[in-house]
Amino acid sequence: MEVIIRPDADSAAALVAQIIARELRANPSLVLGLATGRTMESVYLKLVRLHRESRLDFSLCRTFNLDEYVGLSGSDRHSYRHYMNHHLFLQVNVDLRNTHLPDGMAADLEAECRHYEERIRRMGGIDLQLLGLGQAGHLGFNEPLSALRSRTRVKALSPVTLRQNAPLFERPEQMPRRAITMGVGTILECRRCLLLATGGAKAGIIARAVEGPITSMISATSLQLHPRCTVIVDEPAARQLQETDYYRWIFDNEPEWEPFR
Ligand code: GLP
């Protein structure tokens, strides 16, 4: 795992967008794992700008999102399908048929979860997975006690998650209590993981995720098992990390990061 600390949320999101753009340019048919949440909005804004101003091409790109609420159709504006269409897919030249999210309206949810895993496998696996961080440390909707080897499945949302995301609904009781999420095991199989967390409210959970012991209570700690995971934070989110001098030294000296310094 490596940790990159940027001065503010905007430059942290810009770095994430630049890394995605570089991977996409190197491999136009990249299988890209995507995430939702407020933090990602700024990444998608920058990707849209790179598409418009620097011709970043999504035409061959395939995407898989981490999760979707159970019981919301893609046309519901609270669904993650709607979020993705709005913030990214309809703003760039991705082929919508190449964009995948779990179907939260599927009659047989277990079969839907199995099919999702199959679709990922058929595409050759995910090359680069973008990740946000819930306040309780979940990846996707891998709530406390998510097995470190779990696969795509239905998960009941924890009280912390319900509290965190309910303000995004007009009436809190509209918020579904369950979601389909890629499992921790599914995420750990991606070739590269990129986690973005910004703002002081994430400082405590980032420190536990990066420097704390691995535990199924905090699914983000599982990233310590991943061979190629980059965590990008801004200064406020880095405030409780212990080894920041070391992380900064690596960023300043590692040839891979030279174009981004
Ligand atoms: C939701 C998503 C997570 C995401 C989290 C972060 O819970 N299921 O995948 O990491 O939001 O949200 P925010 O960026 O709004 O803090």
pTM above 0.95, yes or no: yes
Ligand 1 binding pocket mutation candidate from 41, 66, 133 (most atoms within 8 A of CB)? 133
Is pLDDT at 189 greater than 90 in this prediction?
A: yes
Q: Which two tokens stand for residue 92?
A: 């760039």
pLDDT mean across residues, the chain: 97
Q: Retrieve residue 3's tokens.
A: 């940790």
Residues with CB under 6 A from ligand 1: 35-39, 66-67, 132-134, 140-141, 161, 165
Give the tens place of pLDDT for each residue, 11-23: 999 999 999 999 9
pLDDT for 63 equals 99
How far away, in angstroms, is 255 Cα from ligand 1 center? 31
Phi, psi (rounded to 5 degrees) for 96: -55, -30
Q: Which domain range does residue 113 map to?
A: 2-260
Q: Which band of pLDDT confidence, cut at 50, 70 and 90, is reported for residue 172?
A: confident
- Give how many domains the chain has, as a whole number: 1
> Tokens representing 68?
């979707």
Which band of pLDDT confidence, cut at 50, 70 and 90, is reported for residue 69?
Answer: very high
pLDDT at 62: 98
pLDDT in tens, 141-163: 999 999 999 999 999 999 999 99
pLDDT tens digits, 193-244: 999 999 999 999 999 999 999 999 999 999 999 999 999 999 999 999 999 9
- Residue 178, beta-bridge partner list: 156
Instruction: Take atom 5 of ligand 1 and give the residue whose Cα is closest.
Output: 134
Residue 173 pLDDT grade (very low, low, confident, very high; cuts 50, 70, 90): confident
In angstroms, the CA 36 to CA 104 distance is 15
- Work out the average pLDDT over 185-190: 98
CATH number at residue 171: 3.40.50.1360
